[in-house]
Amino acid sequence: MGEYNPDWAIVKEEDDGVGRMYLIRETKGSGDTDDLRGRESKKIECGKAHFAALDVDYRVATSHNEI
């Protein structure tokens, strides 16, 4: 499916000098995967699974209030 780069990520450097990822946001005009192109929808599904395995909060945001 190619490269995937989410729109937003918050990484905070902890006291031990290691960066920790806290959240990932993908911004789209709609949160309904049926409204997205097939490839975009699949990338989001893969992103959800990937970041869930890393225990990182991943969501699709449709407005600035959701970021």
Report pLDDT digits (tens) over 43-64: 888 888 988 998 899 998 888 8
pLDDT per residue over 26-48, tens digit each?
887 765 666 677 777 888 888 88
Measure Cα distances from 52 to 23, 31, 46 in Å: 11, 18, 10
Q: What is the pTM of this model?
A: 0.69
Residue 1 scores a pLDDT above 60? no
Beta bridge pairs of residue 58: 24
